[in-house]
Amino acid sequence: MTELLKSSCEACNADAPVLMDNEIKELLSQIPSWKVFKDDNLKKIICSYVFLNYKDSLNFLNKVADLAEKEDHHPEIILEWGKVTVIWWSHKIRGLHKNDFICASKTDALFDNKD
């Protein structure tokens, strides 16, 4: 179990620093299926999960939504037939925070433990 998976999100204030590139690289090494991308000049992390049908995709989306509520940290989630794409970033600081990587790790765990 990674350290990220054992962690919980912390309250993130608008003046919290965004992660530096070396910090992002280190945290990404713990969640290798995730990629960093820029959207509107904001760094975000993204991962897509593949399912055999729409119902399984929807069930996973609901699990991610429950995780977001529990951690009080909310991603963008895109639902398609057989696919769910999750995008984490910290809205308040307009970039990446450790919370995003914690939630990404927990999202992977939800997928790995699917029924």
Mean pLDDT of 12-39: 93
Answer whether residue 8 is part of any domain: no
50 is a domain residue: yes
Mind listing the pLDDT tens digit for each residue in 91-104? 999 999 999 999 99
Residue 24: inside a domain: no
- The neighbour count for residue 69, using CB atoms within 10 Å, is 10
How far is 79 from 76, CA to CA, in rounded Å? Answer: 10
- Letter string b/e over residues 80-89, b meaning 16 or more CB atoms within 10 A of that residue's CB: eeeebebbbb
Contact (Cβ atoms closer than 8 angstroms) between residue 105 and residue 77 = no
pTM for this one? 0.93
| Number of domains present in the structure of the chain | 1
CATH, residue 58: 3.30.1360.20
How confident is residue 88, by pLDDT bands cut at 50, 70 and 90? very high
Question: Does residue 9 lie within any of the structural domains?
Answer: no
Is 63 inside a domain boundary? yes
Would 53 be classed as within a structural domain?
yes
Is residue 19 domain-resident?
no
Domain extent at residue 95 = 35-115
33-73 pLDDT, tens per residue? 999 999 999 999 999 999 999 999 999 999 999 999 999 99
